[in-house]
Amino acid sequence: MIGQRIGYIRVSTFDQNSDRQLENAQVVRTFIDKASGKDIKRPQFEALMSFIRTGDTLVVHSMDRLACNLDDLRSIVQNLTQRSVRIEFIKENLTFSGEDSPMAILMLSVMGAFAEFERSLIRERQREGIALAKQRGVYRGRKRSLSEDQILTLRQQIKNGDKKAKLARTFGISRQTLYQYLGE
């Protein structure tokens, strides 16, 4: 019995367009994550892993959409092929079924290593760009969640004995952010 063709799409940010990834692929269901590929803790990826069954085929645009880390990529492919799930990577034109040739396994490792390398280069460029912007005095960091007036109000309410967790919810910030404002 031949299973279903299931699609997986991942984009890194909410404003990125995910439509092009499986544009001409015939799939019966698609799982879409709008999250970083730095790890496998992604809601739709986890839903996909629970949903997919023996005999199904997972269709993914490219290896770096599934994982940006070679260890995760290998682990995912091995997990799925052991469950008799085929994986098709459109861009690389590679399919894995568990009965893969040594050349296919080599290609998985090489292409996965390139995805991991690319992610490292992006992080390095980002750090360099931030450092240069700081030197020029144009980098201000992330926009503050609360205004100066709100921070003063928050500090006063803490002095009055209000609970920190409740104040964090009231101001719409995390407790970690609340503690950062209190430490300034």
- Catalytic sites, residue numbers: 12
Contact 154, 181 (CB under 8 A): yes
The two three-digit tokens of residue 181, written as one number: 């404002």
Q: How far is the C-alpha of 72 from the C-alpha of 93, rounded, in Å?
A: 20
In the 8-state DSSP scheme, what is residue 22? Answer: G
Q: What are phi and psi of 183, to 5 degrees?
A: -80, -15
Residue count of the chain, please give it: 184
CB atoms within 10 A of CB 121: 10
Q: How far is the C-alpha of 58 from the C-alpha of 51, rounded, in Å?
A: 11
Contact 34, 16 (CB under 8 A): yes
